[in-house]
Amino acid sequence: MTAQTDPTGKKLGMWLFLYTEIVLFGGLFVLYAVYFAGYTDDFIAGAKELDLFFGVVNTIVLLISSFCVAAGITAVQKAHNRIALAGLWGALACGAVFLVNKYIEWGHKFEHGIYPGSDRLADGPAGQNLFFGLYFVITGLHGLHIIIGMTLLAVSLVLVTRQKITAQNNAMLDNSGLYWHLVDLIWIFIFPLFYLVV
Amino acid sequence: MASESHIIEYKTLGLTLAALLVLTGVTVGAASIDLGWVNVWIALMIASVKAGFVLLVFMHMRWEGRTLQWSFLATVLFLAIMIGFIFWDVAFR
C-alpha cells in the first residue's frame, strides 16, 4: 500500500525552481545596480526618504521567522509535534507582521505622493523616479512571495496537525521551508540596497 | 545519502539566528559611518555573509550532496556572468 516517495527528487525539483527565483531577483538587482551607478545621488536621496526603522524591524522579523521554520522542521523530524506547530505559527505571525509593516510603509509613501506614476515622481529628478520604481517593483514582488510563502506554510501547518507531515514524510514542509528561507535571503539583499545606501 | 536524515539541532539554529541578528546590527552600524562608495561594498559583503548563514544552515546546504551544492554554485556563476557582462556593456557605451 505504501506509495513510492522520492524525497531527493522533490528537493532537487524545489531547488531548480529556486534557482529561477534567484535569477529573477538577480536580474532586478542588476537593474538597480546599473541605475545606481548612473544616478548615485538621486538613489541616496531616495533611500533617505525610506524609514530605516521599518527596514530593520522587517529584517529582524524575517530572520526570526526563518529560525521558526527551521526549528519547526527539526521538531517534525524529532516528532516534537507541539514545537513544530509553535514554530509554524510563529513564522506565520512574523509573516503577518512583515506585511502589516509593509502596508504602513507603503501607505506613508502614498500620502507623500510617492507611488508609481505619481506627479511628484514624474516631475522630479529622473533618478528618484527610477529608485522608487525599483523600490515598488522589488518590494512588491518580494511581498507577493511572502504571501505565497505564508500560504505554503499554512498548508504545511494543517498537514502537520492532521499527521500527514511526519518524521518519515516531510517533503512538503521541507520545500515550503526552503521557499520561505529564499524569501528571507532575498530580503537580506533588499534591505541594504534600499535602506542603507544613505 | 547521509544528508537525507540529517537533523539540525535547535542549538545550531539558535546560534545561527543570533549570528544573523548581530550581523544586522553590524550592517546598520556600519551604514551610519560615512565612508563614501565603500559603504555599499561593506553592506553587500555583510549581506553575503548573512545569506551564507541562511543558505548553509537554515536551507541545510552544508549537509547536501554534490548535486545540489554544485548546481547552486553554477547558478551563482551564471548570475555573475550576467552581472559582469551587463556592467561590461554599460561601462563601454
Is the pLDDT assigned to residue B5 strictly greater than 90? no
Residue of chain B nearest A66, judged by CA positions: B58
Residue B13 inside a domain? The answer is yes
Residue A143 pLDDT: 97
pLDDT tens digits for range A81-136: 999 999 999 999 999 999 999 999 999 999 999 999 899 999 999 999 999 999 99
Q: Which of A8, A177, A188 sits opposite B50 (nearest CB)?
A: A188
The B residues from 34 to 63 touching A (CB cutoff 8 Å) are: 39-40, 43-44, 46-47, 50-51, 54-55, 57-59
Q: How many residues does chain B have?
A: 93
Q: Judge if ipTM > 0.85.
A: yes
Residue B3 lies in a domain: no
Q: Is the pLDDT of residue B1 over 60?
A: no
Q: What does the pLDDT look like over B17-61, one tens digit per residue?
A: 999 999 999 999 999 998 888 999 999 999 999 999 999 999 999
B51 plus B81 within the same structural domain: no
**B15 and B48 belong to one structural domain:** yes
pLDDT at position A46, please? Answer: 94
Domain region containing B32: 8-59
Q: Does B55 lie in the same domain as B13?
A: yes
Beta carbons of A88 and A160 less than 8 angstroms apart: yes
Q: Does domain A39-195 have CATH number 1.20.120.80?
A: yes
* Residue B80 included in any domain: yes
pLDDT for the residue A191? 97
Q: Which residues of chain A have pLDDT under 70?
A: 1-3
